[in-house]
């Protein structure tokens, strides 16, 4: 690829429509890229153009970016994302695919590779191998915390920003990101507020004249996507579903997860930032790595979003891995 040109995709599934960005030639081997929690497909803006010879589709997970939210009264359990990944692969008609994931995305694609090993050619993980876990004696506490959060949930009081720069500054502060890295995510992760900036009315005014996948037919678009500037002066708010912040009701234990990860057969590349993230203690990560039969681990100095902050060394590691496992 080696350029930043991409197309916007709208991918209708049975129950909702997902948005995505696609780089490269659809005739090339596919990579499905999955972002982290409260990020979106913009997370791969700087990495995707560096992965030559592949058709890379970076999806906005349900409730993120420009994808549909799940229906009111439903939530975002981990397993439902796995269903969405499976439906995406079928929608594109890929007999097998390389899966690339960052953080939550890495947890999802590594789990999917265990569930459906015949569909996954190679596994590319950045800052994640399996989901968050919890000891069995915390099960009731987790259920209570999730139940209380669901019971008290309200979507009122969404934060409103005067302009894009203010939203970028907020994301830099909360996510330990540089301005350039935050911009890639924020530009895709806000929407215009209708009416008074102090009010709660939100108008989803994204104009996305991109490609729609209907069966196996693709209607070409120009890839442009922007906020409706008629509404932008009223302020901006996050486009992600506030329900994403409600904690999960259950988590696997490490023993349960071990049963899952041991089923991964795809050659795997795991890229880890140093120093490690607090929720990825080295001993736990090493135990998980030992469960995989064919895995290469690359450690790089950087932050959790190292693929967005310093994409070149990450791309080099992934390209070299893909070349070694090209047969």
Residues with catalytic function = 103
> What Cα–Cα distance (Å) separates residue 149 from each residue in 42, 73, 157, 247, 248?
29, 13, 16, 7, 10
Among residues 279, 274, 277, the alpha carbon closest in space to that of 297 is found at: 274
The three-state DSSP-derived secondary structure of the chain is: CCCCCCEEEEEECCCCEEEEEEECCCCCCEEEEECCCCCCHHHHCCCHHHCCCCEEEEECCCCCCCCCCCCCCCCCCHHHHHHHHHHHHHHHCCCCEEEEEECHHHHHHHHHHHHCHHHEEEEEEECCCCCCCCCHHHHHHHHHHHHHHHHHCCCCCCCCECCHHHHHHHHHHHHCCCHHHHHHHHCCCEEEECCCCCCCCECCCEECCCEEEECCEEECCCCCCEECHHHHCCCEEECCCHHHHCCCCCCCCHHHHHHHHCCCCCCEEEEEEECCCCCCCHHHHHHHHCCCCCEEEEEEECCCCHHHHCHHHHHHHHHHHHHHCCC
How far is the C-alpha of 61 from the C-alpha of 82, rounded, in Å?
10
Q: Which residues contact 313 (CB under 8 A, 6 or more apart)?
A: 300
How far is the C-alpha of 64 from the C-alpha of 20, rounded, in Å?
11
Tokens of 295: 């895995």
């Amino acid at each position: 690829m080696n350029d930043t040109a991409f197309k916007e995709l709208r991918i209708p599934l049975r129950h909702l429509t997902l948005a995505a960005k696609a780089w490269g030639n659809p005739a090339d081997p596919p990579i499905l890229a999955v972002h982290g929690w409260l990020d979106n497909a913009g997370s791969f803006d700087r990495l995707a153009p560096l992965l030559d010879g592949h058709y890379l589709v970076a999806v906005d997970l349900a409730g993120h970016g420009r994808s549909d939210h799940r229906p009111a009264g439903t939530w975002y359990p981990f397993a439902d994302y796995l269903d969405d990944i499976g439906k995406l692969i079928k929608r594109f008609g890929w007999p097998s695919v390389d899966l690339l994931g960052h953080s939550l995305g890495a947890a999802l694609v590594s789990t999917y590779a265990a569930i459906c090993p015949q569909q996954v050619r190679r596994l590319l993980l950045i800052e994640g191998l399996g989901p968050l876990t919890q000891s069995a004696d915390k099960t009731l506490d987790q259920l209570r915390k999730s139940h209380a959060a669901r019971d008290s949930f309200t979507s009122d009081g969404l934060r409103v920003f005067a302009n894009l720069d203010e939203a970028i500054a907020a994301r830099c502060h909360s996510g330990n990101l540089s301005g350039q890295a935050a911009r890639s995510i924020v530009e895709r992760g806000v929407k215009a507020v209708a009416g008074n900036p102090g009010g709660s009315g939100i108008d989803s005014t994204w104009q996305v004249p991109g490609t729609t996948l209907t069966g196996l037919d693709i209607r070409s678009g120009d890839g442009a996507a922007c906020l409706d500037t008629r509404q932008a002066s009223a302020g901006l708010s996050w486009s992600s579903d506030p329900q994403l912040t409600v904690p999960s009701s259950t988590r696997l234990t490490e023993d349960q997860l071990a049963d899952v990860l041991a089923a991964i057969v795809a050659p795997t590349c795991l890229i880890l930032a140093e120093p490690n993230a607090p929720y990825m203690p080295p001993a736990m990560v090493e135990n998980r790595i030992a469960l995989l039969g064919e895995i290469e681990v690359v450690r790089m100095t950087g932050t959790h979003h190292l693929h967005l902050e310093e994409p070149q060394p990450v791309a080099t590691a992934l390209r070299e891995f893909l070349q070694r496992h090209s047969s």
